[in-house]
Chain A
Amino acid sequence: MTTPPDTNRALDIAPVGARTHWEVGGPPVAGATEVRAPVGVLAYEPADMTITVGAGTTFDELDRVLAEQGQQCALDPRSRAATVGGILACGLSGPRRLRHGPVRDHVLEVRFETGDGRLVKGGGPTVKNVTGYDLPRLFVGSLGTIGVLHQATLRCRPRPVRSQWFTGVDTARAFRPAARLWDGRREAVLLEGVDVDVEAEGRGLAALAAPPRFPDGPHRGRISVAPGAVRACAAALTRTPSESASAPGEVRWCAELGVGTIHVAADDAAALARARSVAHAHGGWMLREAGGSAADDGYGCALPNAALMRRVKDAFDPAGKLNRGRLPLGAVHA
Chain B
Amino acid sequence: MTDLRACVGEGRASDEPLELALYARDAGVAVGRADAVCFPGSGAEIAAAVRVARRHGRPFVARGSGTGLAGGSTPLGDPVVIVTTQMNRVLEVDAQTCVAWVEPGVLNLDLSREVAPLGLHYAPDPSSQQACTIGGNVGTNAGGPHCLSEGVTSAHILAVDVVLPDGTEARLGSLAPDAPGYDLRGCFVGSEGTMGIATRIAVRLTPDPPCVATILCAFDSVEAAAATVSGVIAAGVLPAALEMMDARITQAVEDFVGAGYPRDAQAVLLVEVDGLEGGVATQVDAISSVARTNGATLVRVAADDAERALLWKGRKSAFGAIARIAPDYYLHDAVVPRTKLVDVLRRVYEIADAHELIVMNVFHAGDGNLHPLLVFDRREPGIWDRVYAAGTEILDACLDAGGVLTGEHGVGIEKRDLMARMFSVDDLDAQARLRDAFDPDGAANPQKVLPSGSRCGELQRVPDGTWI
A128 touches B367 (CB 8 A): yes
Known contacts being A50-B337, A118-B426, is A226 close to B181, with CB within 8 Å?
no
Mark out the residues of chain A between 153 and 177 whose CB falls within 8 Å of any chain B CB in the assembled complex: 157-159, 175-176
Most B CB within 10 A of own CB, among A102, A129, A134, A305: A129
Least CB distance from B260 to A in Å reads 28
The digit string for A298-311, where 1 denotes a CB below 8 A from any CB of B, is: 01010111101101
The digit string for A225-262, where 1 denotes a CB below 8 A from any CB of B, is: 11110000000000000000000000000001011110
CB of A149 within 8 Å of the partner chain: no
B177 touches A45 (CB 8 A): no
Known contacts being A101-B155, A226-B175, is A48 close to B337, with CB within 8 Å?
yes
A125 touches B404 (CB 8 A): yes
B175 touches A197 (CB 8 A): no
Q: Which residues in B have their C-beta under 8 angstroms from that of A128?
A: 143, 147, 152, 335, 364, 367-369, 407-408
Quick one: closest B residue to A140, CB to CB? B183
Mark out the residues of chain B between 392 and 440 whose CB falls within 8 Å of any chain A CB in the assembled complex: 402-411, 415, 419, 422-424, 426-431, 433-438, 440
A137 touches B154 (CB 8 A): yes
Least CB distance from B226 to A in Å reads 13
Least CB distance from A108 to B in Å reads 10
B449 touches A299 (CB 8 A): no
**In the complex, what distance in Å separates the CA atom of A246 from the CA atom of B186?**
44
CB of B236 within 8 Å of the partner chain: yes
Quick one: closest B residue to A127, CB to CB? B367
CB of A114 within 8 Å of the partner chain: yes
CB of A196 within 8 Å of the partner chain: yes
B278 touches A305 (CB 8 A): no
CB of B237 within 8 Å of the partner chain: yes
Least CB distance from B412 to A in Å reads 10
**In the complex, what distance in Å separates the CA atom of A306 from the CA atom of B184?**
11
A-binding segment of B106-114, B164-172, B353-361 = B164-172
A226 touches B236 (CB 8 A): no
CB of A312 within 8 Å of the partner chain: yes
CB of B277 within 8 Å of the partner chain: yes
B430 touches A135 (CB 8 A): yes
B276 touches A197 (CB 8 A): yes
Q: Which residues in A have their C-beta under 8 angstroms from that of B438?
A: 308, 311
Q: Which residues in B have their C-beta under 8 angstroms from that of A101?
A: 151, 155
CB of A60 within 8 Å of the partner chain: no
B430 touches A129 (CB 8 A): no
B170 touches A126 (CB 8 A): no
Mark out the residues of chain B between 224 and 250 whose CB falls within 8 Å of any chain A CB in the assembled complex: 230, 233-234, 236-238
Q: Which residues in A have their C-beta under 8 angstroms from that of B407?
A: 126, 128-130
Least CB distance from B227 to A in Å reads 11
Quick one: closest B residue to A97, CB to CB? B177
CB of A119 within 8 Å of the partner chain: yes
**In the complex, what distance in Å separates the CA atom of A309 from the CA atom of B182?**
7
B-binding segment of A76-84, A265-273, A280-288 = A280-288
Task: Determine which of A49, A114, A119 lies in contact with B233 in the assembled complex, contact meaning CB atoms within 8 Å.
Answer: A49
A126 touches B403 (CB 8 A): yes
The digit string for B170-196, where 1 denotes a CB below 8 A from any CB of A, is: 111011111111111011011100000
B404 touches A124 (CB 8 A): yes
**In the complex, what distance in Å separates the CA atom of A288 from the CA atom of B41?**
42
Q: Which residues in A have their C-beta under 8 angstroms from that of B364?
A: 128
For this complex, 18 residue pairs linking A to B, each with C-beta atoms less than 8 Å apart, are A47-B233, A48-B368, A105-B155, A121-B423, A128-B335, A130-B409, A132-B422, A132-B431, A137-B154, A193-B275, A197-B276, A197-B277, A228-B97, A287-B178, A299-B180, A311-B436, A312-B437, A315-B430
A134 touches B154 (CB 8 A): yes
A224 touches B335 (CB 8 A): no
Known contacts being A47-B233, A175-B210, is A134 close to B189, with CB within 8 Å?
yes
CB of A291 within 8 Å of the partner chain: no
Number of A-B contacts (CB under 8 A): 252
**In the complex, what distance in Å separates the CA atom of A46 from the CA atom of B364?**
19
Least CB distance from B408 to A in Å reads 6
CB of B94 within 8 Å of the partner chain: yes
Task: Determine which of A125, A127, A130 lies in contact with B141 in the assembled complex, contact meaning CB atoms within 8 Å.
Answer: A130
B177 touches A141 (CB 8 A): no
B180 touches A315 (CB 8 A): no
Least CB distance from B211 to A in Å reads 9
A135 touches B431 (CB 8 A): yes
Taking Cβ atoms with an 8 Å cutoff, the residues of A that contact B are 45-50, 70-71, 91, 93, 97, 101-102, 104-105, 114, 118-122, 124-135, 137-138, 140-142, 146, 157-159, 175-176, 193-197, 200-201, 224-228, 256, 258-261, 283-285, 287, 299, 301, 303-306, 308-309, 311-316, 327, 329
Least CB distance from B105 to A in Å reads 21
Q: Which residues in A have their C-beta under 8 angstroms from that of B434?
A: 133, 135, 138, 312, 315-316
Chain B interfacial residues counted at CB < 8 A:
86
Least CB distance from B404 to A in Å reads 4
A197 touches B176 (CB 8 A): no
Most A CB within 10 A of own CB, among B176, B408, B415: B176
CB of B282 within 8 Å of the partner chain: yes
Least CB distance from A269 to B in Å reads 20
**In the complex, what distance in Å separates the CA atom of A93 from the CA atom of B368?**
27
Q: Which residues in B have their C-beta under 8 angstroms from that of A132?
A: 411, 419, 422-423, 427-428, 431, 449-450
Task: Determine which of B178, B277, B424, B436 lies in contact with A315 in the assembled complex, contact meaning CB atoms within 8 Å.
Answer: B436
**In the complex, what distance in Å separates the CA atom of A46 from the CA atom of B12?**
54
Quick one: closest A residue to B191, CB to CB? A133
**In the complex, what distance in Å separates the CA atom of A304 from the CA atom of B278?**
45
Least CB distance from A68 to B in Å reads 12
Q: Which residues in A have their C-beta under 8 angstroms from that of B367?
A: 126-128
B151 touches A131 (CB 8 A): no
**In the complex, what distance in Å separates the CA atom of A308 from the CA atom of B162?**
13
B368 touches A126 (CB 8 A): yes
Task: Determine which of B178, B190, B338, B433 lies in contact with A130 in the assembled complex, contact meaning CB atoms within 8 Å.
Answer: B190
Q: Which residues in A have their C-beta under 8 angstroms from that of B170?
A: 304-305, 308
Task: Determine which of A137, A283, A311 lies in contact with B186 in the assembled complex, contact meaning CB atoms within 8 Å.
Answer: A137
The digit string for B433-454, where 1 denotes a CB below 8 A from any CB of A, is: 1111110100000000110000
Least CB distance from A136 to B in Å reads 8
CB of B288 within 8 Å of the partner chain: no
Q: Which 8 A-B pairs have the closest CB atoms?
A: A137-B186, A315-B433, A196-B278, A47-B234, A311-B437, A124-B404, A226-B175, A197-B276
**In the complex, what distance in Å separates the CA atom of A120 from the CA atom of B432?**
12
**In the complex, what distance in Å separates the CA atom of A331 from the CA atom of B449?**
31
Q: Which residues in A have their C-beta under 8 angstroms from that of B429?
A: 118
Q: Beyond the given A194-B278, A311-B440, could you list 14 further A-B residue pairs with CB under 8 A, ordered by the A residue number?
A: A48-B233, A91-B178, A128-B335, A130-B143, A132-B423, A133-B187, A137-B186, A175-B276, A193-B278, A197-B275, A305-B181, A308-B164, A311-B437, A327-B182
A131 touches B411 (CB 8 A): yes
Q: Which residues in A have their C-beta under 8 angstroms from that of B339?
A: 45, 47-48
Known contacts being A46-B234, A118-B429, A135-B434, is A142 close to B182, with CB within 8 Å?
yes
Least CB distance from B151 to A in Å reads 6
A285 touches B176 (CB 8 A): yes
